[in-house]
Structure 1
């Protein structure tokens, strides 16, 4: 491989990346498989893609085309040159609303196209659950389908023509009776009977090649035949797509059943109603998503989401009511939803299934491999019964969800992927499952392609003659087998190249944190990331992942960082363990925002993994200057508080400020906040009622003590007896974020000793700084996993809003407009619902911004070298939103970092919730 890389570098220069970090990042996709690539290239145009293919041909290197890297069958990883189209080749043409077509490049993300088509009441029909980050090129490669394929078909049904490139450099435009080589016409002519009898027109037959599209009665459409070829024949440079027309109104009927099998049995009775979707989830999947069992889910153990369209809302409702009436005897309950917000809440359960299903209710890990087999819908109930019997025989478990309307079920099973006997059981199960699907006239793949997971099993579904025909088809386009080798034709073994590994003792035996959700194992915690790549979403909302949204570099995504940590554990590409500079560099731009903890469907907690890595990486070594300045900030604040005015005077001198920043590793672009007399200099024991310790966090205590003063007044007015700890305390956050975990644990143990009398006496703890409050509610159990008092503190900690919402306090209405920026840790750990309730009660016309991370994120935005990324994170959504806000509108933000970023980059003064509520206190109580 070294010679091959040298030849590529000679051909492509710096355009091909062969460094260890990049090779590690692209060694796998969302599947069970791992292959170290020869190199990685990001073509900046389709013309450059031609140059890349030519260079690979001259160097003799195989090619693996890649979009979002979300393939779960091992379709987009392999020992070749990975050509990633997702970063640059993402242009598309004007929507032709009359002919309902559009031309796209392969790197276009589906949601971007949908947003452009929506004003024309059009959409691209197929919509896999990864729609926020999957690319059209990847969808073409795998013949993606999605939730609405029951109405609008597969990707093959929506592709009219394509611009493709062969490995030998030939560029073709293929479509209906266009671009078909003579030898391919002969292949079809000589095998008409075989093609017509074995390649049935059933819509979810995705396994193998789509040679049925080459039949004369199907228009001899080579473009459609190449859809689903998984990059094994050609490189797709562009495609003309057909768009579907949206119905004017849609309603969602949610039907409850006593079991998933009962739901499957009902499908044939639903299909005559021409639904737009018939999607299914079971109770186990629903239970994996916190707070998902809302009032909108009817009684049942399994549910079908049946979406119906019509020209008017009333017509759609009438159709839904008639359907539920017809099925009444089968149902345990039903609800018909017209509110888009309520519909989105339920769709979230279904769309995040691929991530949620990776951890079962008992905490065991579940894996792809038998992810999306499909059978004709009329056979679904019978198939599911027998499949569950097969699972029981093998002692396997899985949640059940998927595209019931087309007989396609998604199931991740709790295979043992970590031992030889486990892998042998994995193979045996897949072989028997393949035979079961074939017996029901189904397809091994119903939408995600075969990849390495299923290609070896194709002879169990197709005759030897058809398998030979597939080989001849590939040979016409790729006679030397250089396009995604080992997939579909001459396949690799389904149990080879498995990426799942246990962490060696040099990793797991020395980890500092407890990882209580992952059985104490850092390796198991890192395995949470299975590659579904929701962190690569740049179009939608949420917090995750701000640095990726700013850089669009895979290594700065949550998935990319998790992948590097996994490769560190594997020790093959990343070979120096905790000392790895590749991992340190990738984690350097992690803001520790914890957005992934809430937004990632499998609760990847990169902030915690970063803290662990930093702890290990810098053990016994000199740390960056910022770890001493901002990591030890609470101590420096106590020193500065002895004489805040002289300290402020000195730091206002430009040269002294510049020197302080340089010595402290602080960005020169940042203004240093002013110190003040701390709030804890006061004695506080006010009010009557339930007793509350007001947590004097370092940020508000030493920089904005008026926030703590306001909080004390509001809590007292709400009927609480408010006290301050009688000694100095700290949550240790700054030491955690810089990976100084030993110090953090000592600080927390001292804090617990101070709080013990209060906790023993039944006090609650009120937090006004979200990052500190979230640490008590979240990370505390990882830092002190076996400490009973720590568990009490976690259970007693409340936000200011939660305490006020739980009180009889009535505010006088302020009648003012406001926008709220939610601190990332509050979004991830605490929630914002109580804040919205109390703001509403105070007469604040609040709009909660979906603005992501502010970009400052504690020490991150102050550290030297981070300023540009910090501002870019804020410019992603927050700063533009504030510019569009009327100057007279209140800006509310509880996070000290958020308020600082808003002041320094937007020139707006943001206020804390406590300050707003103090204004709304009734007369005589302020």
Structure 2
């Protein structure tokens, strides 16, 4: 191999991880490479030529037409080639490597009040190279048009390994390029000849020029608009051809981009409709008002938001259950004028009897929430499960806006003819709708239906002189039908373009031209074998373990970086390795279990991929499809333990309750021992505990011992009129931080409650985190009778540690037997985190806090709480108690129970802490109150920034003294 080429990874795990993207396809590559420089790409191209091996460039892998899958070498440019090389605020340009994430660029450009305009639903993880390859457009394409309009120059590696820069050329410069005795010169000579000979034919057959989003085939019509082919055209720039070429012609190594000023104000109008036809007629009216965006969301997606934890809170603007809505945004510098425009359009739609409900939203935070719901659309469809699976074979068509109402009617006729339902959503403002008929690819007759419908839809697009692909590219899905849309006379020209640029056919073959049949290499097909294995969890919501492993559609929301906000996926944020993303792990689950079935529980590659999963549960809410990787990991680890046994370290962390009573009886000795170097070495050797960690010290008196002595000294009366409440004190609070339990008890008693403290300290959380699921089931069985008795009496069950108490509301519902389910459901309904219950108590008391006692409190939320219930209860309880709370925008702390204590995880644990949490805490005043509900979070903060954090119970108890 040439020395400058990057290392090729040929192991099965890596190849599996890159076998899929967000499309319906799965093709195992021969190898995967992660180049760091242009020189390494040159070397890789030379190697591919020598071996006659196809080469497919890939960024985030969010493409929907299969264009980033391939059987040769997959080249991931995202991991290393992700530098913003320069931002020129005066010239309003940026020069970037192809692996730069769009939102990352815009965060840096924002300091100059600039942005890169194209705004896809995937902007928190999609990369500029991929946006160029697909000519991405997004939500605001009526305003910003496409990526093509914002790419000024492209530096690329050609198929012979040479380098070239494509940019606007004067006639003299174009002539000079054509005289070069290189592949670049040959490209210019033969491309100009092709355009000269076929200009009229191209313009006649290509989509209507009024259609902004037209990406069918190669953009020959765009080149025909330039000089010298159009006298008053813009300068000739082959970069426009590369935009939308899907990596089939050249490999982008850097790009110079146009940036545009940000508009300071925005207003959103959301009219509701009783039919999709009415929404399309309203779109025709809306575009007359010069909006920045007009997006359609139909009832299928809106209904899916009801069952999504993250999106439920974003439904605030919905009035009933409309058939569809339009999200119409107006941008400018005067909010009042924008609101007036929105009101005028709302009246117009009402007068035309198109919409009776037209809410207008002006608050920026609420506007962001509306768009969050819209952007979740693709993943929400996958959250519907197998019954709602919608392959992307026709979802990207575009027609003129004026044709939309009739086009939708004609499309519905095709659906009716094939007895199929369809999802309607996306970019109505520019005539593009994501139309996704429901097709079950596991059935042969459904595949035949898909192929027939694809042909009929292509004919319909041709009838309206539309574009088969408006944004997501031809790839493998639509390439077989380009001929129907552009006509048979265009296909030789497209093939000639491919041959001019890539005569050996190395770059991403089979995309745009010479495609395989659309039904080949499908992820799901009649030959697919769904997993049929014995599991510990019941997987009731998903209906089966098989359905659970098929939830991920590859949209890659889990690949966003920490700067984009949220918590998912903390290990990927730290390593940026595909195997550490929820998507990567989910793909391995599906591939291995569908292939090896029960034997997949012994898979070393899946065990490795799960090693850095912190079981934070962020994916359960932030993943639009609600993939619960924490539960999948627990299920897998249980099966792994059955075959390979349970290590001493895993037993130690999972069954601390067996050891703590002894250590708690002699706390001073226990603490002294844990500080000794020899003991630290022993703990490292036996249990894998990192010697750099400070182990939590045992309190001089555990809470249960203190409570026993308190009761003996002052027995409570046998009966009382006070309302009862059950306080669950977890083992770590009991032995390490009993003052927190005392504070919780004080608060509950001071607010008029009779407090019952059960004698047990665990609900199975540590066991679940180590995959000892059967042991957790034993804990459930042991404590269920007493918990049921509390629930039957109507007693609230309150927990101090969020992960423990939320186990009752989450895993118990799937861990219990069928005959236990009703009891567990009742317990779940009556279980509360301490903060949730405190909020209810304080809200009911109608107490008015004194403004003189208000003090700033900074809140870092527990991952499980953020995923399952949010931070609002903590914030509201502290506010009601008289504090001035602020929720910090921090993700996972990186400790995650025992994860951060383990030597093999220590560095990643601290790296995760440095992503958002540690930087957020360091600038705070020395006397700042830092409120953290989670035990491991507080200890990570102490180790990471040497700050003391307190539990909400301590602050709330102090507020009522």
Q: TM-score, normalised by structure 2?
A: 0.91
Tell me if 1:344 matches 2:335.
no
Distance change >3 Å, CA 575–CA 136, structure 1 → 2: farther
Matched position secondary structure for 1:451: coil
Range with bigger deviation, 673-682 or 607-616 = 673-682
Deviation at 1:430, TM superposition (A): 2.3
Report the Cα distance in structure 2 between the residues aligned to 1:501 and 1:279, rounded to whole angstroms: 32
Q: Corresponding residue for 1:747?
A: 779
Distance change >3 Å, CA 720–CA 501, structure 1 → 2: farther
Tell me if 1:188 matches 2:195.
yes
Report the Cα distance in structure 2 between the residues aligned to 1:249 and 1:463, rounded to whole angstroms: 45
Range with bigger deviation, 190-199 or 752-761 = 752-761
Matched position secondary structure for 1:819: strand
Q: Tell me if the contact between 2:48 and 2:506 (Cα under 8 Å) persists in the aligned partners.
A: no
Tell me if 1:644 matches 2:636.
no
Q: Corresponding residue for 1:568?
A: 592
Distance change >3 Å, CA 502–CA 856, structure 1 → 2: farther
Q: Tell me if the contact between 1:12 and 1:55 (Cα under 8 Å) persists in the aligned partners.
A: no
What do the CA deviations read for 1:177-220 (whole angstroms, capped 9, x no partner)?
A: 44552111111111121112112322122111100122122443
Q: Corresponding residue for 2:924?
A: 885
Q: Corresponding residue for 2:180?
A: none
Q: Corresponding residue for 1:508?
A: 532
Q: Tell me if the contact between 2:574 and 2:915 (Cα under 8 Å) persists in the aligned partners.
A: yes
Report the Cα distance in structure 2 between the residues aligned to 1:268 and 1:811, rounded to whole angstroms: 52
Q: Corresponding residue for 2:630?
A: 607
Q: Tell me if the contact between 2:319 and 2:357 (Cα under 8 Å) persists in the aligned partners.
A: yes
Distance change >3 Å, CA 44–CA 620, structure 1 → 2: closer
Report the Cα distance in structure 2 between the residues aligned to 1:37 and 1:361, rounded to whole angstroms: 28
Say which of 347, 355, 366 aligns to 1:325.
Answer: 347
Report the Cα distance in structure 2 between the residues aligned to 1:473 and 1:860, rounded to whole angstroms: 53
Q: Corresponding residue for 1:307?
A: 329
Q: Corresponding residue for 1:197?
A: 204
Q: TM-score, normalised by structure 1?
A: 0.95
Q: Corresponding residue for 1:116?
A: 108
Distance change >3 Å, CA 293–CA 158, structure 1 → 2: closer
Report the Cα distance in structure 2 between the residues aligned to 1:779 and 1:366, rounded to whole angstroms: 29
Q: Tell me if the contact between 1:730 and 1:748 (Cα under 8 Å) persists in the aligned partners.
A: no
Tell me if 1:81 matches 2:88.
no
Q: Tell me if the contact between 1:504 and 1:569 (Cα under 8 Å) persists in the aligned partners.
A: no
What do the CA deviations read for 1:41-70 (whole angstroms, capped 9, x no partner)?
A: 111112221121112112221110111111
Tell me if 1:895 matches 2:934.
yes
Listed as ranges, the gaps of 5+ residues in structure 1 are 1-7
Report the Cα distance in structure 2 between the residues aligned to 1:775 and 1:920, rounded to whole angstroms: 29
Q: Tell me if the contact between 2:806 and 2:833 (Cα under 8 Å) persists in the aligned partners.
A: no
Matched position secondary structure for 1:487: coil
Q: Tell me if the contact between 1:773 and 1:798 (Cα under 8 Å) persists in the aligned partners.
A: yes
Report the Cα distance in structure 1 between the residues aligned to 2:529 and 2:394, rounded to whole angstroms: 31
Q: Corresponding residue for 1:846?
A: 885
Q: Tell me if the contact between 1:503 and 1:523 (Cα under 8 Å) persists in the aligned partners.
A: no
Q: Corresponding residue for 1:5?
A: none
Matched position secondary structure for 1:818: strand
Tell me if 1:533 matches 2:556.
yes
What do the CA deviations read for 1:468-498 (whole angstroms, capped 9, x no partner)?
A: 1111111100112111111111111111101
Say which of 788, 791, 805 aligns to 2:825.
Answer: 791
What do the CA deviations read for 1:136-174 (whole angstroms, capped 9, x no partner)?
A: 110110111101110111111222222222211232222
Report the Cα distance in structure 1 between the residues aligned to 2:49 and 2:551, rounded to whole angstroms: 38
Say which of 698, 708, 718 aligns to 2:731.
Answer: 698
Report the Cα distance in structure 2 between the residues aligned to 1:247 and 1:13, rounded to whole angstroms: 44
Say which of 17, 35, 38 aligns to 2:30.
Answer: 38
Deviation at 1:398, TM superposition (A): 3.6
Report the Cα distance in structure 2 between the residues aligned to 1:361 and 1:507, rounded to whole angstroms: 15
Distance change >3 Å, CA 316–CA 496, structure 1 → 2: same
Matched position secondary structure for 1:125: coil
Distance change >3 Å, CA 705–CA 233, structure 1 → 2: same
Alignment of 1:89-488 (within 5 A): 89-177=81-169, 178=174, 181-199=188-206, 200-201=208-209, 202-215=211-224, 216-217=229-230, 218-219=233-234, 220-290=236-306, 291-292=312-313, 294-298=315-319, 300-329=322-351, 330-360=354-384, 364-488=388-512
Distance change >3 Å, CA 131–CA 505, structure 1 → 2: closer
Matched position secondary structure for 2:338: helix
Matched position secondary structure for 2:462: helix
Distance change >3 Å, CA 165–CA 650, structure 1 → 2: closer
Q: Tell me if the contact between 2:19 and 2:69 (Cα under 8 Å) persists in the aligned partners.
A: yes
Deviation at 1:130, TM superposition (A): 0.5
Report the Cα distance in structure 2 between the residues aligned to 1:712 and 1:370, rounded to whole angstroms: 60
Say which of 767, 770, 779 aligns to 1:738.
Answer: 770
Range with bigger deviation, 769-778 or 298-307 = 298-307
Q: Corresponding residue for 1:3?
A: none
Report the Cα distance in structure 1 between the residues aligned to 2:339 and 2:903, rounded to whole angstroms: 58
Report the Cα distance in structure 2 between the residues aligned to 1:867 and 1:625, rounded to whole angstroms: 18
Range with bigger deviation, 46-55 or 247-256 = 247-256
Range with bigger deviation, 165-174 or 832-841 = 165-174
What do the CA deviations read for 1:768-816 (whole angstroms, capped 9, x no partner)?
A: 1110122111111121152221121111111222222222333754311
Report the Cα distance in structure 2 between the residues aligned to 1:93 and 1:647, rounded to whole angstroms: 54
Aligned-residue Cα RMSD (Å) equals 2.2
Q: Corresponding residue for 2:687?
A: 664
Deviation at 1:575, TM superposition (A): 11
What do the CA deviations read for 1:687-706 (whole angstroms, capped 9, x no partner)?
A: 74432211121221222122
Q: Tell me if the contact between 1:678 and 1:702 (Cα under 8 Å) persists in the aligned partners.
A: yes
Report the Cα distance in structure 2 between the residues aligned to 1:889 and 1:195, rounded to whole angstroms: 67
Q: Tell me if the contact between 2:703 and 2:742 (Cα under 8 Å) persists in the aligned partners.
A: yes
Listed as ranges, the gaps of 5+ residues in structure 2 are 178-186, 307-311
Q: Corresponding residue for 2:876?
A: 837
Matched position secondary structure for 2:486: coil
Aligned residues: 911
Alignment of 1:12-51 (within 5 A): 15-51=7-43
Q: Tell me if the contact between 1:66 and 1:86 (Cα under 8 Å) persists in the aligned partners.
A: yes
Report the Cα distance in structure 2 between the residues aligned to 1:499 and 1:210, rounded to whole angstroms: 30
Q: Tell me if the contact between 2:82 and 2:101 (Cα under 8 Å) persists in the aligned partners.
A: yes
Distance change >3 Å, CA 316–CA 172, structure 1 → 2: same
Report the Cα distance in structure 1 between the residues aligned to 2:526 and 2:414, rounded to whole angstroms: 28
Q: Corresponding residue for 2:908?
A: 869
Deviation at 1:857, TM superposition (A): 0.2
Matched position secondary structure for 2:654: coil
Report the Cα distance in structure 1 between the residues aligned to 2:654 and 2:880, rounded to whole angstroms: 39
Distance change >3 Å, CA 785–CA 346, structure 1 → 2: farther
What do the CA deviations read for 1:71-118 (whole angstroms, capped 9, x no partner)?
A: 011011101111111112122343333433222221111012112222
Report the Cα distance in structure 2 between the residues aligned to 1:323 and 1:400, rounded to whole angstroms: 23
